Amino acid sequence: MGKQTDMGRILANLPLFQQLSADEIAGLAAGTREIRLSKGRILFQKGSVLEGFYVVARGQVKLAFSSPQGNEKVVSIVGPGQSFGEAVMFMEKPSPVFTQALEDSQLLYIAKYSLFAAIDRDSAFARRMLAGLSIRLHGLIEDVENYSLRSSTQRLIGFLLQLAEAPTGGPVVLNLPASKHVVASRLNLTPETLSRILHGLAEAGLIEVKGRAITVLDIEGLSRLDPPPRAG
């Protein structure tokens, strides 16, 4: 036991694999290996071809691309229970992004053949996989929407409200999921702009900032500045 059953337990707890049987989990676990990644380490470079995908068990990694001019843009901050690399694996094309650990992390690498076996055995699982990719796709569409028709301030507010994730009116304390530098990049801002916006919102009495901890004082007020997408 030990390693093997640990992996089984982690796998079984992933949203994606929630509904698999013990047998199926065991099958996946056989094609899975553990990877430890210390802070700052690159997992794979842009251009890599993946023969499997990854799940974060502990820690945090970022997916990002870099321009020839050396700028870097964080596409995604991936935390425990979340996976990445599926699309690149299914496509069999070079990855458009690279992956770097933001903290010391523990990942699981699940081999393609092992996942395919699960898909072949269980079409409900295949559907769940499709739904998973669809959600990812939806997220990217939202990003595109944010970048193209919302201002810096609106993007930040949207981000904060998502973290706050509480429809209550009262003050909510939240922690930025990463350094301001990384958060800024994720929101397509410079660190300077992020700092100024946070200052401005604090000035306006809408939030309080203490390092990475942000207290949302007035969700209503923030929402008013952040025209939420109305259905219809």
Rounded-to-integer distance, Cα 138 and Cα 132, Å: 10
Could you say which of 30, 35, 42, 141 contacts its own copies (CB under 8 A)?
A: 141
Which of 71, 52, 196 is CA-nearest to residue 110? 52
Nearer to DNA, 41 or 212 (CB): 212
| Strand order, beta sheet including 83-84 | 32-37, 105-111, 52-58, 83-84
- Least gap, CB of 45 to DNA (angstroms): 21
Q: Which of residues 92-121 bind DNA (CB under 7 A)?
A: none
Say whether residue 42 binds its own copies (CB under 8 A).
Answer: no
Rounded-to-integer distance, Cα 180 and Cα 209, Å: 12
Could you say which of 42, 91, 173, 213 contacts its own copies (CB under 8 A)?
A: 91
Residues 6+ apart with CB under 8 A from 14: 55, 81, 83
How does DSSP assign 119-157, residue by residue? Answer: HHH-HHHHHHHHHHHHHHHHHHHHHHHHHHHS-HHHHHH
- Across-strand partners of 66? 72
Contact, 55 vs 83, CB < 8 A? yes
- Least gap, CB of 205 to DNA (angstroms): 16
Query: What is the signed CA dihedral for 62, 30, 127, 45, rounded to 10 degrees?
Result: 30
Residue span 169-208 as binding mask against its own copies, x where in contact by CB under 8 A, dash where not: -------------------x--------------------
- Least gap, CB of 199 to DNA (angstroms): 4
Nearer to DNA, 28 or 189 (CB): 189
213 makes contact, choosing from its own copies, DNA, none, with CB < 5 to 8 Å by partner type, with: none
Query: Which among 7-15, 54-62, 159-167, 174-182 is the span making contact with DNA, rule CB under 7 A?
Result: 174-182
Say whether residue 224 binds its own copies (CB under 8 A).
Answer: no
Say whether residue 213 binds its own copies (CB under 8 A).
Answer: no
Could you say which of 109, 188, 215, 225 contacts DNA (CB under 7 A)?
A: 188
Could you say which of 27, 58, 65, 152 contacts its own copies (CB under 8 A)?
A: 65
Could you say which of 131, 166, 204, 213 contacts its own copies (CB under 8 A)?
A: 131
Q: How many Cα atoms sit within 13 Å of 6 on the Cβ side?
A: 9
Nearer to its own copies, 189 or 217 (CB): 189
Q: Give residue 176's Cα distance to chain centre.
A: 13
Query: Which among 29-37, 94-102, 169-177, 211-219 is the span making contact with its own copies, rule CB under 8 A?
Result: 94-102
| 47: helix, strand or coil | coil
